[in-house]
Amino acid sequence: MTDDTIRPARRRQARGEKRMAELLDAAAEVFAAQGYAKASTNAVAAAAGASPGTLYQFFENKEAIAEALMVRYIERLRAAHGEAFDLSVAALPLKDMLDRIIDPVVAFDRANPGFYALMSDPHLAAGLAAAKRPAQQLMFEQLDRILAARAPDYPPEARTRTAEIAVHLFRGLLPLIMSAGEDDLPGLVAETKAVLFDYLSRRVGG
C-alpha cells in the first residue's frame, strides 16, 4: 500500500471518529435532557446535525449508543477518580479526606449529566445494566481501599460494609446535588459531607 492510498484512508478514519464523537456528544445531551427511556435515535441524530442514516452507519440502535457512551464515561470516570481516590488521602483528617474525594466526584457528575441519566435509570435493558456495573463498583472499591489504609485494624468484612453504605449514602443524596442551582450547590455539598463525616467518624475515626 502506497502513501497515496494510506493518507485518504486515514482521513476517512479521522472523519469517522470525529462524527462518532459528535454523535456521542449529542446523545449525552439528549439523554440528560429527556432521560434515556424517552430519548430517540432521531433526536440524537438531529442534535448532532446528522441524518438518521448517518447515525445507523455507526450505531445499530439506541442501546448501542448508550453502551458506547458508558465506555467513554467509565474511562473519564477513572481519570477523575484517580486524583479523588488517591491512596494518600487516607492519611488526611477525615474532613479533608472527604473534601478531596467528594469535590471532584461532584464536579464530574455535574459536568456529565448524560452519565448521571444513564446511571440513575432503573429501567435499562440487561446489556446496558451490565455495562454500567463497572462504574457503580468503581467508587465502592476505591473507598474500600482507602478505608483499609486508614484503619488497618478494622475487620475487612465490617470495613467493606462501611464503604458500601457510605457510597449508597452519597448516591442517595446525589439527585439533590444534580438538580441544585449554583447558589444552593455549596450548601448541599456541605450537608452531604456532614452526613458522611458523621457516619464514617463513628467507624474509622475523624
CB 74 within 8 A of CB 134: yes
2 three-state secondary structure: coil
List the domain range (segments joined by +) for residue 132.
69-204
In the structure, what pLDDT confidence band is assigned to residue 5 with cuts at 50, 70 and 90? low
Measure the CA–CA gap between 162 and 143, rounded to whole angstroms: 9
DSSP codes, 21-77: HHHHHHHHHHHHHH-TTT--HHHHHHHTT--HHHHHHH-SSHHHHHHHHHHHHHHHH
Cell output for 172: 442517595
In the structure, what pLDDT confidence band is assigned to residue 183 with cuts at 50, 70 and 90? very high
Q: pTM of the predicted model, to two decimals?
A: 0.77
Average pLDDT over residues 161-182: 94
Q: In degrees to the nearest 10, what's the CA dihedral of 176, 177, 182, 188? A: 80
Number of domains into which the chain is organized: 2
The cell 441524530 sits on which residue? 45
Measure the CA–CA gap between 68 and 126, rounded to whole angstroms: 15
pLDDT at 12: 62
pLDDT at 99: 96
Measure the CA–CA gap between 72 and 82, rounded to whole angstroms: 16
Average pLDDT over residues 126-149: 83
Domain closes at, from 37, 59, 81:
59
Residue 159, C-beta contacts closer than 8 angstroms, at least 6 positions apart: 144, 147, 148, 151, 204
Measure the CA–CA gap between 68 and 127, rounded to whole angstroms: 12
CATH number at residue 53: 1.10.10.60
Measure the CA–CA gap between 163 and 140, rounded to whole angstroms: 6
CA-to-CA separations, 190 to 2, 5, 102, in angstroms, rounded: 61, 58, 10
**CB count, 10 Å around CB of 180?**
16
Q: Are residues 97 and 187 located together in one domain of the fold?
A: yes
pLDDT at 56: 93
Q: Are residues 135 and 33 located together in one domain of the fold?
A: no
Q: Are residues 36 and 137 located together in one domain of the fold?
A: no
- Assess if residue 175 is contained within a domain: yes
- Assess if residue 64 is contained within a domain: no
CATH number at residue 138: 1.10.357
Express each pLDDT in 95-133 by its tens digit.
Answer: 999 999 999 999 988 998 888 888 787 777 777 777 777
CA-to-CA separations, 51 to 99, 171, 196, in angstroms, rounded: 45, 37, 47
